[in-house]
Amino acid sequence: MSSQKIGIVGSGLIGRAWAMLFAAAGYRVCLYDILESQIVTALAELGQELRNLENKGTLRGELKAAEQLALISTTTELEQLVVDAAYIQECIPERVELKVNLYAQLDKVLQPQTIVGSSTSTFLPSRFTAGLKQKAQMLVAHPLNPPYFIPLVEIVPAPWTSDQAVQQTYDLMVSLGQRPVKLNREIEGFATNRIQYAILNEVWRLVAAGILNVLDVDRVLSQGLGLRYALLGALETAHLNAPGGVADYFQRFGGEMAKVSATYGPTPDVRDSEMLAKIAQQCEEIVPLQGLPQRRATRDAFLTKLAALKRQFE
Ligand code: NAI
């Protein structure tokens, strides 16, 4: 249990989730936003959310919902946010000019011990920290939505981020009960989106070629590969799938893998309107747009159960 101060910049969807994760681990959280109205709503909704989780028995950490809420304070002053902060998690909208501006502002007021991690899903850290005085303390700490239920955090350094900042962020994420990974250098898409896009591209090609419809191509993951991947990564899955382990697996199937891979074809333009309209129509037959909030809530409820099961597995 820590009493260190953590700053959160931006009190939207992801900022709130981080506030809950840090408060659950006993950190003092200071939530900052440029909009006073946004902060007021955020605090009210956080209180409600924490009570809901407590009632359902899925609240994280050892503190009660009211105790966790009491650890969260708010401000609209950047100077107040940075004072004595051990770490700041940035969660402002995904627009590079906003990030560049904010990091330049932070650079002027940041104390030497404070690390800043960005939640960005797409921008390399070098893109918004280049030229700053305190750039060695800045990096990306990318969560997956919903961070309260999905433990992965991708820690991505810029070329100038210090090893110490990377390690401290890693240790901090572990202290929250998250499961971080450290990339040794920045790369477009980090790791998650590189893998996710490879899957989406192939799913798209199979539907566009008329080989599977949306329901069935999703079934390949949700009723097949995804069940294994919910427990194990791709390489450990391969390791278990050949009598002699992973070396045996790639010796046996590597030739076939290369042959199939040569047939993938170019990256599809997924903005192509005709195909997109077809995919959207089929998806909406499965879950109508007005049913999305309910479907998300159901997914999150089951992710909690899956997370508990995974802890037993590990
Ligand atoms: P959001 O739009 O829900 O919230 C953004 C918040 O930032 C708003 O409350 C806004 O008032 C505030 N804000 C805007 N400019 C600000 C500034 N200069 N200083 C302080 N606050 C400011 O956005 P969301 O979805 O929470 O995303 C935040 C970040 O998290 C983005 O970088 C996004 O790429 C990343 N992310 C989002 C995921 C998602 O599924 N929504 C998943 C993983 C990462």
**What is the DSSP annotation of 39-56?**
HHHHHHHHHHHHHHHHHH
Paired residues of 154 in beta bridges = 142, 181
Distance 91 CA to ligand 1 centre (A): 4
Distance 123 CA to ligand 1 centre (A): 13
**232 and 157 within one domain:** no
CA distance 131 to 124: 14
**Which of 162, 182, 202 is a domain's end point?**
182
Answer whether 14 contacts ligand 1 (Cβ < 6 A).
Answer: yes
ipTM above 0.85, yes or no: yes
Distance 16 CA to ligand 1 centre (A): 10
CA distance 185 to 164: 14
For 86, the 3-state DSSP assignment is strand
Answer whether 126 contacts ligand 1 (Cβ < 6 A).
Answer: no
User: Quick one: pLDDT at residue 192?
Assistant: 98
Whether residue 48 is contained in a domain is answered as: yes
Distance 196 CA to ligand 1 centre (A): 21
Residue among 13, 103, 109 whose CB has most ligand 1 atoms within 8 A, to mutate = 13
Answer whether 10 contacts ligand 1 (Cβ < 6 A).
Answer: yes
| 8 A C-beta contact, residue 83 and residue 111 | yes
**164 and 32 within one domain:** yes
Whether residue 187 is contained in a domain is answered as: no
Answer whether 147 contacts ligand 1 (Cβ < 6 A).
Answer: no
Distance 161 CA to ligand 1 centre (A): 23
Q: Among the atoms of ligand 1, which is closest to the Cα of residue 16? A: 26
Q: Which helix (H) or strand (E) holds 156?
A: strand 152-157
At 233, which CATH number? 1.10.1040.10
**288 and 146 within one domain:** no
**206 and 163 within one domain:** no
**229 and 176 within one domain:** no
Answer whether 13 contacts ligand 1 (Cβ < 6 A).
Answer: yes
**216 and 166 within one domain:** no
Residue among 91, 107, 144, 193 whose CB has most ligand 1 atoms within 8 A, to mutate = 91
pLDDT, mean of each 10-residue run, the chain (314 residues): 89 97 98 95 96 93 97 97 98 98 98 97 98 98 94 98 98 97 98 98 97 98 96 97 97 97 95 92 97 94 89 89
Give the 3-state DSSP-derived string for 224-249, with helices as H, strands as E and coil as C: HHHHHHCCCCHHHHHHHCCCCHHHHH
CA distance 84 to 76: 16
Answer whether 90 contacts ligand 1 (Cβ < 6 A).
Answer: no
At 148, which CATH number? 3.40.50.720
| 8 A C-beta contact, residue 43 and residue 31 | yes
Helical axes 192-208 vs 273-286, angle rounded to 10° = 100
Distance 97 CA to ligand 1 centre (A): 13
- Fill in the amino acid letter for 298: T
**Which of 159, 182, 205 is a domain's end point?**
182
Domain count for the chain, please give it: 2
**154 and 293 within one domain:** no
Whether residue 196 is contained in a domain is answered as: yes
Distance 266 CA to ligand 1 centre (A): 33
User: Quick one: pLDDT at residue 14?
Assistant: 98
**245 and 167 within one domain:** no
Distance 120 CA to ligand 1 centre (A): 8
Whether residue 225 is contained in a domain is answered as: yes
Q: What range defines the domain where residue 56 resides?
A: 5-182
Whether residue 66 is contained in a domain is answered as: yes
CA distance 85 to 7: 6
**158 and 25 within one domain:** yes
**Which of 182, 206, 222 is a domain's end point?**
182
How are beta strands 152-157 and 138-143 bridged, if at all? antiparallel
**70 and 170 within one domain:** yes
**169 and 204 within one domain:** no
Answer whether 74 contacts ligand 1 (Cβ < 6 A).
Answer: no
Please say whether the dihedral angle defined by the alpha carbons of residues 190, 191, 195 and 196, taken in this order, is positive or negative. Answer: negative
Distance 94 CA to ligand 1 centre (A): 6
User: Quick one: pLDDT at residue 42?
Assistant: 96
In this structure, the residue with its CA closest to atom 37 of ligand 1 is 14
**156 and 253 within one domain:** no
Whether residue 54 is contained in a domain is answered as: yes
